[in-house]
Amino acid sequence: MDRATFREQLLVVMEGKDHWAWPAFTSGRVRKDLLHHHLEQEYATYVRDFPVMVGRAYVRCPIPQVRRSLAENLYEEETGGLVAGRPHPELFLDYARGLGMDLSRFANVALLPAANSYRQYLDNATQLYGWEIAAAIVTIFVEGSKDERRAIESTAAVEPPPLEEHPLVKHYGLPIEHLALTKAHRQVEGNHRTAAWAAILDHVKPTRRGTVVRAMQEALTSWLCYRDAVAEICAVECNGHTYKSAVA
């Protein structure tokens, strides 16, 4: 597989990271008393242990240039020492704190079956396979979005919407001071996306490119099932049908 085809296939996978229920979360249509399920599942599925996942990719990588990029990412995620000032998993909990949620729930989250499957895939990808898969999964799939093409192809910086327009602020009353993680992501996002794509496109051997694409496709399939489960437990409507929350 040549580099251009590899790049395009990865971008197609990322464009598929677009779940049908997400507009309900960004428009305030999810009931506030069910929103904690979304944050709890995100936290336990990957946010809490994301620095560990980046660390696994770092340890497995034989290429110094890529390791340096992963080390910088790991340092910021684990300590916030470059931008945020606090570990990113701790900053994530500020969302829940600002919304008045019971933080003790985040200490013992019971993962939904689909969330557990997705988490198992992330663990396998970062521990059992080659460095290329570990790095691609954590830095492109998990950290990236459906807008990767615009992020890496646009020559002009895209101005993010005001913090006042953040869905948690606009629809759920989250005080802006609890958006420290959002602010940190905005500060490092451009450099992170550029470094992540350069590491994969420039250093994955041609014979391994197909394997990486397949791993990314598997991640997408697992993620979509996970997000289906979150939509169900948050009672999001789908084609006129309302899922009934499985947890009180």
How is the chain split into domains, by residue range? 3-242
Q: What local confidence, expressed as pLDDT, does residue 152 receive?
A: 84
The predicted-structure confidence for 219-248, as pLDDT tens digits, reads as follows: 999 999 999 999 999 999 876 555 544 333
- The whole-number pLDDT of residue 189 equals 66
- Maximal C-alpha separation, the chain: 52
d(CA 102, CA 214): 39
CA 97 – CA 40 distance, rounded (Å): 12
Name the β-bridge partners of 237: 242
**Cα(31)–Cα(45) distance, integer angstroms:** 22
DSSP letters, 72-108, are: HHHHHHHH-TTTTSS-HHHHHHHHHHHTT--GGGGGS
Neighbouring residues of 95: CB distance < 8 A, sequence distance ≥ 6: 39, 168, 174, 178, 179, 181
Query: For each of the chain's 248 residues, which pLDDT tens digit applies?
Result: 999 999 999 999 999 999 999 999 999 999 999 999 999 999 999 999 999 999 999 999 999 999 999 999 999 999 988 888 899 999 999 999 999 999 999 999 999 999 999 999 999 999 999 999 999 999 999 999 999 998 888 766 667 889 999 999 999 999 999 999 999 888 866 577 888 999 999 999 999 999 999 999 999 999 999 999 999 999 998 765 555 443 33
pLDDT of residue 85: 86
Q: Residues of 176-215 as b/e, b for ≥16 C-beta within 10 angstroms? A: eebbbbbebbeebbeebbebbbebbbebbeeebbebbbeb
* Per-residue confidence (pLDDT) for residue 83, from 0 to 100: 84
pLDDT at 92: 96
| Architecture of the domain whose range is 3-242 | Up-down Bundle (1.20)
213 close to 200: Cβ distance less than 8 angstroms:
no
Give the separation between CA 79 and CA 13, rounded to whole angstroms: 30
The count of C-alpha atoms lying within 13 angstroms of the C-alpha of 32, restricted to the half-sphere facing its C-beta, is 14
